[in-house]
Amino acid sequence: MDPVTYAALSFLVVAGVSCLVGVFLLRRWFALRAERLRQPSPPAAVASILRWEEEARGWLERVLERLGRVFRPRDKIRVSRVRQRLVWAGYQNPRAVTLFIGAKMGLAILSGYSSFVYGVTRALPYVLPYSIILAGLGFFLPNYWLRRRIRARQREILHALPNVLDLLMVCVEAGMGFDAAVARIAEQPEVQRSPLHQEMLRMHLEMRAGRPRAEALHALGERTGTDEVKAVVGAFIQTERLGTSLGKTLRVHAESGRVKRRHRAEELAQLAPLKMLFPTALFLFPVFFLVTLAPSLMQLLHAMKGVAGQIR
């Protein structure tokens, strides 16, 4: 290969790898978020958090909504359970239940029909059982996605809870009321990406709309679906009813939240070696055995060939 061509190819490969690594760091690494490189701007007020769109925005949503209306269960208890799980995942639109059921049925029909058509055109055996299995996988795949979404959102809420309690404690001890402190927290820039800040903003707007504080706090705990937030909400309601100091309650729960967060981090750190054991044994140990035993095996094979040649 010409040296100039070799140098040009090497430059392109190194530049492409560097660009890919840079994009990955900007998108994934928490210390190099893209927001940190942008010019700071005042956050836009979220005024439509209590409102939802009445109509579907695209043809796909319209199709899924029609499927959801056809296959929506008539049992109100099942529908309420699905709606509760969607609320835990952050989807509070009343149309979310219909869209979710439509997505399940759409994936089931699409996967089963595609497998059946492909098997018939290719004359494959056992087409119908495979199509039924794939249809079942497509039906239960949204449940798996929703479960992961709920866990990720609850993890973010638990991670942000101690910081929010610290800010509330500072605001309350500075002389602000509870409603003013919640409004101050909801105006933070994290409201655009933190689920807990979003829920607090919703609670603040509900109280401004006239909902009683106890009901708004109880609804906050139900929307998050975490025991820690429910315990904090219960403490707030009890403090309001008994007339005790809210600052002391916030301080106690903030310290408890920080301790629990540290314990969760320590638990994950202790589980890391166990999680690394399987890939280490699967990928590294065979390489180590090959490197250490290959020379001896080659010498042994060479010696056996020599002995076989002498016997002949």
Whether residue 18 lies inside any domain: the answer is no
Q: Same structural domain for residues 136 and 160? A: no
Q: Same structural domain for residues 139 and 177? A: no
Whether residue 30 lies inside any domain: the answer is no
- Tokens 């309420």 — which residue? 80
At 200-249, the pLDDT tens digits run 888 888 888 888 888 888 999 889 888 888 888 888 888 888 877 788 88
Question: CA 65 to CA 191: how far, in whole Å?
Answer: 30
Q: Same structural domain for residues 172 and 248? A: yes
For position 247, what pLDDT does the model report? 81
For position 149, what pLDDT does the model report? 92
- Tokens 């109100």 — which residue? 76
Hey, what are 126's tokens?
């056992």
Question: CA 130 to CA 288: how far, in whole Å?
Answer: 41
Please, is 237 exposed, middle or buried when counting C-beta atoms within 10 Å of its C-beta (0-12, 13-18, 19+)? Answer: middle
Whether residue 97 lies inside any domain: the answer is yes
Q: Same structural domain for residues 118 and 76? A: yes
Please, is 197 exposed, middle or buried when counting C-beta atoms within 10 Å of its C-beta (0-12, 13-18, 19+)? Answer: buried
Q: Same structural domain for residues 161 and 261? A: yes
- Tokens 């949503």 — which residue? 61
Looking at 224, 246, 265, the residue that finishes a domain is: 265
Q: Same structural domain for residues 96 and 189? A: no
Looking at 152, 185, 210, the residue that finishes a domain is: 152
Hey, what are 3's tokens?
């040296």
Q: Same structural domain for residues 135 and 160? A: no
Whether residue 19 lies inside any domain: the answer is no
At 74-107, the pLDDT tens digits run 888 888 999 999 999 988 888 888 889 999 999 9
Whether residue 307 lies inside any domain: the answer is no
Contact residues for 34 (Cβ-Cβ < 8 A; gap 6+): 26, 27
Whether residue 271 lies inside any domain: the answer is no
Whether residue 191 lies inside any domain: the answer is yes
* Contact (Cβ atoms closer than 8 angstroms) between residue 233 and residue 220: yes
For position 47, what pLDDT does the model report? 46
H or E stretch covering 58: none
Q: Same structural domain for residues 145 and 242? A: no
Q: Same structural domain for residues 123 and 160? A: no
For position 18, what pLDDT does the model report? 76
Which pTM does this prediction carry? 0.70
* Boundaries of domain holding 93: 59-152
Domain count, the chain: 2
For position 302, what pLDDT does the model report? 80
Low-confidence ranges of the chain (pLDDT < 50): 30-32, 34, 42-47
For position 150, what pLDDT does the model report? 93
